[in-house]
Structure 1
């Protein structure tokens, strides 16, 4: 195996430069999704004209909303109801975890690929199996970016609905005449919107980079490959 020799020239070419962009985009993809924390607040009015009190349900990655129970302020009795038994609706962990896990794997693969590009440039270009494997991984990653981002975008839409105004109509105590519930607020989900944007950005980057990876394979220029193999078959002259 060739020894490590640092060569930054591949980073100036589309093959290496786009891989750097893919590496950065994957970081934003899983960081903006996996680092989110939010809460939904509901104002509750008890009988006899008492003042409104706030109950809060907090939720975060991986968005198992059906485990996010409502909590009253410490030491405050809100209409003599155990709000801990009331939860948000839906479990969107499968889509969120698939998206984040795949983004992390892409992040790690980009590190390995960049190390191969800049440290073992000759090995990558002389061994046709490595470019072919890189090309196959690029195609698979492009498809999985499409699947994971689409699934996560749909889940995010459902999360916004489940944690928004409609939750008031789903809570059992709020359906009684004795308790009046009003939607208070929900944490802005701008970072989650950004995660979806970066998911589709990764899709574009990987799809576009497939062409440059393809150019490194024997499929693009098989004549050069066969010529190099024929030259490699000539035995070197014997030493004196």
Structure 2
């Protein structure tokens, strides 16, 4: 068995390799759109005596809001889980592409490679479902905490009857919304990829062979007994 590196770009033209390239790109967009985020909301305090003040509520990844002035809450666990899954997928997709393009002859020559690939791909698809749902809820908690109601419930000054608090300038959270979208997009891509990886395993080949054999058997003509 030849185990040396043999560059072959043909797998990129097939779903097995092309989808891995897509997974590599979508993983980058997933963790890149939230990993370095920083935003600032401006809170305006309107006093009954006519003097107004403004305060800044600055928040950033990993959104430990309880450590930020004026804000309360903590979404660090959900976003770190999300980013962690994305980074693992980025690395695995890159390694899988290397194997597909250089060691496909070794990959297809054993049962272990396709079966391991299928098991890990299916597991990652499930992890995308869990981490995307967790981060979607965590992001909503961030939005609630840095909004007007969240600031009023946290800031003691806002409890006074002679002061009205309101967030008058909101930080753009478009990138964070995009990260959630890419999380669920990754779920769809990895779930679809699991089928194409499954077709490389012996489970699929044995099932196909059994079905083909049974159909061939039914098609045989049995001569009548005389």
Q: Same fold (TM over 0.5)?
A: yes
Deviations 1:59-114 (A, max 9, x none): 11111111111xxxxxxxxxxxxxxxxx3111000000000011001000001000
Q: Are the aligned partners of 2:64 and 2:73 in contact in 1 as well (CA < 8 Å)?
A: yes
Query: What are structure 2's unaligned runs of at least 5 residues?
Result: 210-226
Counterpart residue number, 2:193: 209
- Show the counterpart of 1:2: 3
Structure 1: gaps (5+ residues): 70-86, 226-240
Q: Which residue of 2 aligns with 1:218?
A: 202
Equivalent position of 1:93 in the other structure: 76
Q: How many residues were matched structurally? A: 207
1:196 equivalenced with 2:185 (yes/no): no
C-alpha displacement of 1:168: 3.7
| Structure 1: 4+ residue segments shifted above 6 A | none
For residue 41 of structure 1, report the CA deviation from its aligned partner. 1.1
In 2, Cα distance between equivalents of 1:223 and 1:173? 69
Name the one with the larger helix percent: 2
Q: Relative to structure 1, is the Cα distance of residues 224 and 18 closer, same or farther in structure 2, using a 3 angstrom cutoff?
A: same
Q: RMSD value over aligned CA atoms?
A: 1.7
Partners of 2:22 and 2:171 lie apart in 1 by 30
Check if 1:164 corresponds to 2:133: no
Cα 1:13–1:106 shift into 2, 3 Å: same
Q: In the alignment, is the contact (CA less than 8 A) between 2:148 and 2:165 conserved in 1?
A: no
TM-score of the superposed pair, with normalisation by structure 2: 0.87
String of CA shifts for 1:173-208, please: whole Å, max 9, x gaps: 111235432322220111111101100100000101
- Tell me the TM-score normalized by structure 1: 0.82
| Residues 123 and 223 (structure 1), Cα distance of their counterparts in 2 relative to 1, 3 Å cut | farther
Match of 1:59 in 2: 59
Alignment correspondent of 2:219: none
- Superposed displacement of residue 48, structure 1: 3.5
Aligned to 1:12: 13
Q: How does 1:16-165 map to 2 (within 5 A)?
A: 16-46=17-47, 48-50=49-51, 52-69=52-69, 87-165=70-148
